Structure 1
Amino acid sequence: MNCSSAYFDGKSSNRRAVTLTLGEDHLFIKGDGVDLTVPNSELRLSSPLGSGNRSIYLKSGAKCEFNDPAFARMLQKKLGKGGFFAFVHRWENSLKLSALALVLLCLAVWAFIRFGIPVLSEQIAYSIPVSAEIAMGEKAFAMLDKGYFSPSEVEKSEQEKITALFNGMLANMAEDQRNYRLVFRDSELFGANAFALPGGTVIITDDLLELVDHDAELLSVLAHEVGHIRGRHALRQVIQNSSSGILIAALTGDILSSSSLAAGIPTLLVSARYSRDMEREADAAAADYMRSQQIPLAHFADMLQKLQDSVEQKGRGDAPSALDYLSTHPATAERIARLNAGN
């Protein structure tokens, strides 16, 4: 196959008219004082751009410019790049195919955000050592305690009783390496609420304790919080909310940037919510514990209803619940129905 071409030697701007001939393993370039035989292995063909000229680059720095699609396709095949590059070029030159490619790209991005990021965030969160998780939780607690909480007004004797209940619950669960502790705080902003921080810290507010009529109700809340901690939900949600964090961690292996992750935890707890699946996981963990101790799940359902009623009394304008006891993800009615069905 032959093709007319313009030859540039790479040393001057002189343009020479030549004829290109494709051999089995060589390209022959002849004309206007040029007579070259170049192995195909030493050729580089430029990518197509619309209907513009294509260029063949030689190792010597010379190049040949031509505009013959059939010759270009044949040369691509000779260079072992025919199928894929021809396919891409065909899509580039078709408005319908380009539009289809855009739609497919949008679907791929959506699928990655919907399914890929949660899977990656879970893998990254579980690869963080417990020691680093504890350090992040301590930093997050310091930030929360400084900005959102005041000392608890619950009597010390009552705090000791509840702490003993908490420690007794942990004694009946599988051991792990976290430093669990229960912290009592008051908060006008959050009202009846509780928080689970990485590393084992559970914060419970005075307003929540005022709703409790039975130890089993309080145990359901505490077991739910431990479920969040052991599921590493705070870490997973913070990482999931930051695609850049996922990419950096995945590409560099820098999963121990505790300062940046710890800084994101208060924001998650204050203004965001756990995902629907994470709430269900924590509910399931609490329900499993209660069944193991022969505690009726009705106590958990009753506590959820009390918390929901508390929110409705205060109005929807108040600060969001970090635990989603109080509104959605999933809806309280759905969660109560699930507990009653499993009772």
Structure 2
Amino acid sequence: MKAILFESPCEAEKLYIGEAPLPELKEKEILVKVKAFAVNRADTLQRIGKYPAPTGASQILGLEFAGIVENPGQSKLWKKGDKVFGLVSGGAYAEYVAIHEEMAVVLPKNLSFVEAAAIPEVFLTAWQALCWLAVVRENETALIHTGGSGVGTAAIQICKELNVLPIITASKEKHDTCESLGAKLCIDYKTQSFSEEVKRFTSGKGVNTIIDFLGASYFEDNISSLSIEGRLVILAFMGGAKVNNVNLANLLFKRISIHVSSLRSRSLDYQIKLNKDFFSWGLSRFKSTQLLPVVYEVLDWKNTGKAHKIMEENANTGKIVLEVS
């Protein structure tokens, strides 16, 4: 089969379409002909050698896709020709991908392959952060950093559906999209202090939950922005991983809990449970358009390098999706 290949570490321009072995199906896996896949930050980091694939995962890039079942293997859940989308630990940048039968999700009739490919990684990550780690509650307030990102746009919508008030940080040009999805306050991180804006908006109480991707560079202001018994969920360290001179008294005084997590390295059993939990709640909402995949740009997969550059420049609002031609 054809796949997007690279020799790590490399620049985005070095990604190319080459030949790769067809995936060998493991127990309870099905083979899917990929019609579209989406780009994630993890892909760009893996390409430059900073985020290796988990043990046993495909070395081919790609965590989310949509396509048509080519070989259902021994599965009784799927048949050849079924339209599905889903999350994998790697291998989606290819003509064919293997996925566990319980990680595949039926494609709603109102969604295209492109739209469906933009759903799994970001919505599952947002659901894990908000509902499994922070355990948000109705009428609470959540601050979502990088609100214009794929996970950010998903988190805004989930908050809205759960009656949690979303506040976001993003560059000014991404505010309109975030507001249209349900953000109640948009903070321009380039020109405004988010901690000051949060205090003003919440009358000094702070937010109940923060979803963060920056890590060290935002840590002090995040703690300042949290309410009593607030929850900080850190999903990445784009602003550094080492925090110096931390005053733990601030955490104790507010009884703050901190969660640091990733999804890709989680066990298959964990991912299956998360997948079922989210889509039992969310799939009907995609069908009714209460939830929407946010697609920034669609490219042919021969332009995967361009897609990586767009993400690395933080130019996208929502997802970048590649069609397999």
TM-score bracket for the superposition, by shorter chain length = under 0.3
RCO comparison, higher one (Cα < 8 Å, 6+): 2
Q: More helix by proportion, 1 or 2?
A: 1
Give TM-score scaled by structure 1 length.
0.20
Which of 1 and 2 has greater Rg? 1
